[in-house]
Structure 1
């Protein structure tokens, strides 16, 4: 497959890619639309079926509960259906029979049957028969007779009386062909409210048929009911009533989930059911999927037609579009082949546009022009290369000479020191020694950062020179605790500030001044203060100087500018560059009292040498 693609031209690859992508997109769109339409159809059915079956369950529950409630007065002896009862004033005959059936004679038993039959006639004609059962299993039937063997086969006969209404699923009476549903209604003794028996009603399916009626879902879909033991309670086909569902044509049906899609004989069926809270029966809606998704077939046909038209359009349009796309590329290819042969005058045709191919053509033309320029200026560039080498040599000589100059100064100071020693002038000897030490310290490029101890040592040598100059009155003190001496600091951060104090505080007063150096911690920083007792600064000068320092802090990337107070701005600029905007110097001046310059640098406990 790879070799096949390698042999194809770019135009063929574009056509193949476009057609493949378009085909995949169309097929995917068709599949997705079919999938979601089917899901939507199923969900609509489930919603409708759930509402319908729950409504049927609710109606059926109300129906059974109304029947039960209508018997309460009769069972308690309140209603008087018999004229005989009206004459003798005895309306609790059913209660008496339930307490002790042997105490009620045949005449009263006939009265009870009359009460039961009149209840059927006055209330629910769909009731086929009624059974009055005591706790001792004595049975009194409203009409007809039932043998003990037949009674023993009844599900309610062997069961103890329950205080709740019980509904038993469809059955056929012995020798009969009428399907019946039985409702067992508990009867309570009016004297002690204990259960004394039950009243069993045998009813036909007339009311259930009326509820469901001719309800259909789709053309052939229908609703039926299944009891908790899997027997069919109601079905439009009467020959399936009372039969286990596994023995009918619905044996393929599984009822594990309330909503499901099942297959039978190659056809898909939508199944949905809800369970009655009273009976526990499942009311099931069953319909073929194709009847609920009639629009799906139309949508599929429409999708196929649209897909065929799109494919035809793609087959026609893609080659045309591919040819328009590849034509500038082919022209560029020919221009590159000419350039390869050495024709630097060739240019690729450029049409207005901002697509990548046009930009590539423009870049190719620029490259060709640049190559032409490079070839034409080759000899001049060789001459410039020679000139560059000469300039480099001159710069090297100048750098070597600059290294010699400081050594000449060091040697001169050492000669002055030696002469002062021989002539017995210790002050000049000391001054020359300190000055030479300072020059060596300032001329050394590395390292940029030294310990505070070393910085203070060079500062003391400078102060010694000032003491020699102003012997009588000048005073200086360095109060720095030993635990701060190992703190790193940028080299020559303090000496320019002290030199500035000497220039503006000590010299104007002919040495009658003092310079004090101290240090204290501030959080994770160390503050070094250089204080003098000079005349202080004018407010305007102080404000301008602070503005210069703020400008350096906020515009550090713009480089060093020329300021009048070069020493202070230089130190601040280097501190901010090295440590960050949170560091540098700050100035406080008090008229006729002096000036305090604070230097803030980072300080960590690891620098503590105590």
Structure 2
């Protein structure tokens, strides 16, 4: 009892119109809303991330532009210093610690002070020649042997002299407890172009970092400035010059920004912009919590909207059941009574809408079915009588014709008489005709071997040879490997008969027909080739179209059936019925050179679904 009840519930669930309507409402209403809420929330989240990322990238770009301006000022000072004629003379002169050295120092200091006005980040500018002479913007003019020279200067000089670049940026170093980066440039003799010294500008990173301290990314975001060796130039939490190897840098690669997680699994928005002129990289880090705070109000409103839509879908579902489903269920119960044979039931048609029209149509249908059943009963009786008389007439007609067995015995009698009279040619033809008739009258098996079909062709061509006086030359080619292949009985003779009938005219001097069998992968192709006059291109097109047209539509091509031959078309349809649409007959022809008919059959016979 419980199993029957569960089975009824399952059937009701599958067949119930109301359940299907509810599923449609859920699929077309609720699910899209839920998907929309998820997709909408994610889309807006991504848009917010993009907006915040673009806003902070603009801030980073402003910092980038300021650093580029500093680099541009440094390049300008390096160039003006290197090409100044007075400084060229100072570099070319030998080291001197007397009065001349003092005058050269004052001249250099006065010139440099004019260049560095408004650039407090430039800590010092020094010129050096290769003889040990050194003058800086602080007024020091002693030789390298008299005062300590920062080791980085010697490294810059070696890199400039031994390298291909005329500008060098040093790593971060510290002097007098000040973090520095130095920029070096070769001084070339304006007359000979040979290097005569270097000019070095020391950049005070403290002044750079002071400006970066004032840059804010949202409320708690930070910026980081790294040099070409990934050493910290500016970091609010790390010391200048330390190596910075955090894993999130790899996630950025060449992207301007991305979302990632820290080692503590805190999600962050990472940004970057590169300062190509300096080889530095500027990074920004913004906590993702500050981004999603702006979405809280939107998410609340969207959830309220989703709840209202769910309630609305529920109200619509109840209304649909009352207005549409219940009347349909009533009609369903009436239909079941009609199925059981009760044609007296009628539906109520008080409503003026489509449901009411459905009830009226149901009542009309029941009345018409009752009338049709009565009419069909009378027609069946009349048809049965007519069929009986038709079969009786066919039986009488068959009995009035000569039976094939009588014809076969008659041919044997003629052959015996021709043998007795010594007429060998008539005996041979009659024997062939008798064997042909015997082969044709066999009803089983339906499928025969290629070897048997070729034997039948030889008997048929003996008669043709006798009829045409040997004017047509026939040749055969049947390899042993395909002699066992099966095909429907009497498939080749209609094609050969069609070739004999249509291929030749009086102008053909040489008349020949070849029957060649070849294997093509898993198929066998039987070619019937003639040396006749060929088929005109337009007629050949119509014949091939007739072969590709369903049998029931071939009345459209009745004008070309004489040329193609009804037997050939029937063979084509029989082959496709036995083996499938990929098999059958194809025709190619060249006007004036002959025609080739190809019959394609499979090596391994498998009945098609139609025959099964």
Report the TM-score range of the alignment, normalised by the length of the smaller protein.
Answer: 0.5 to 0.7
Instruction: Check the 8 A contact 1:413/1:432 in 2, yes or no.
Output: no
Whether 1:578 and 2:577 are equivalent positions in the alignment is no
TM-score (norm 1): 0.62
Instruction: Check the 8 A contact 1:132/1:139 in 2, yes or no.
Output: yes
TM-score (norm 2): 0.62
Question: What is the deviation of 1:495?
Answer: 12
CA distance in 1, matches of 2:114, 2:394: 130
Q: Which residue of 2 aligns with 1:233?
A: 233
Q: Which residue of 1 aligns with 2:318?
A: 319
Q: Which residue of 1 aligns with 2:108?
A: 116
**1:513-524 alignment, distance < 5 Å:** 518-519=511-512
Instruction: Check the 8 A contact 1:162/1:186 in 2, yes or no.
Output: no
Task: Tell me the alpha carbon deviations over residues 156-176 of structure 1, each in whole angstroms, 9 at most, x when there is no partner.
Answer: 45665321433457777526x
Q: Which residue of 2 aligns with 1:69?
A: 79
Instruction: Check the 8 A contact 2:227/2:233 in 1, yes or no.
Output: yes
Q: Which residue of 2 aligns with 1:458?
A: 463
CA distance in 1, matches of 2:305, 2:174: 59
CA distance in 1, matches of 2:541, 2:188: 100
CA distance in 2, matches of 1:380, 1:488: 45
**Bigger Rg over Cα:** 1
Q: Which residue of 1 aligns with 2:520?
A: none
Whether 1:490 and 2:497 are equivalent positions in the alignment is no
CA distance in 2, matches of 1:141, 1:325: 98
Q: What are the ranges of 5 or more consecutive residues in structure 2 without an aligned counterpart?
A: 161-165, 443-447, 480-490, 517-526, 573-584, 601-612
Task: Tell me the alpha carbon deviations over residues 295-339 of structure 1, each in whole angstroms, 9 at most, x when there is no partner.
Answer: 755654553343233223222223323444423441233124423
Whether 1:306 and 2:305 are equivalent positions in the alignment is yes
Instruction: Check the 8 A contact 1:262/1:271 in 2, yes or no.
Output: yes
**1:271-350 alignment, distance < 5 Å:** 271-289=270-288, 296=295, 299-339=298-338, 341-346=340-345
Whether 1:92 and 2:128 are equivalent positions in the alignment is no
The alignment partner of 2:225 has SS state of strand
Q: Which residue of 1 aligns with 2:167?
A: 165
Q: Which residue of 1 aligns with 2:610?
A: none
**1:200-239 alignment, distance < 5 Å:** 200-204=200-204, 218=218, 225-228=225-228, 231-234=231-234
Please tell me the root mean square deviation across aligned C-alpha atoms, in Å: 6.1
Instruction: Check the 8 A contact 2:435/2:459 in 1, yes or no.
Output: no
Whether 1:15 and 2:22 are equivalent positions in the alignment is yes
Task: Tell me the alpha carbon deviations over residues 137-182 of structure 1, each in whole angstroms, 9 at most, x when there is no partner.
Answer: 775444377999995776445665321433457777526xx76554
Distance change >3 Å, CA 216–CA 478, structure 1 → 2: same
Distance change >3 Å, CA 113–CA 432, structure 1 → 2: closer
Question: What is the deviation of 1:19?
Answer: 3.7
Distance change >3 Å, CA 211–CA 338, structure 1 → 2: same
CA distance in 2, matches of 1:168, 1:555: 88
Instruction: Check the 8 A contact 1:11/1:323 in 2, yes or no.
Output: no
Question: What is the deviation of 1:277?
Answer: 3.2
Q: Which residue of 1 aligns with 2:521?
A: none
The alignment partner of 1:225 has SS state of strand
Question: What is the deviation of 1:69?
Answer: 0.8
Instruction: Check the 8 A contact 1:221/1:288 in 2, yes or no.
Output: yes
**1:304-453 alignment, distance < 5 Å:** 304-339=303-338, 341-346=340-345, 370=369, 373-374=372-373, 381=380, 392=391, 395=394, 399=398, 402=401, 404-409=402-407, 438=433, 441=436, 444-445=440-441, 452-453=457-458
CA distance in 1, matches of 2:23, 2:146: 85
Q: Which residue of 1 aligns with 2:529?
A: 526
The alignment partner of 1:162 has SS state of helix
Distance change >3 Å, CA 408–CA 16, structure 1 → 2: closer
Q: How many residues align?
A: 522
CA distance in 2, matches of 1:21, 1:70: 74
Aligned with residue 79 of structure 1, among 77, 83, 86: 86
**1:140-155 alignment, distance < 5 Å:** 140-143=135-138, 151=148, 155=152
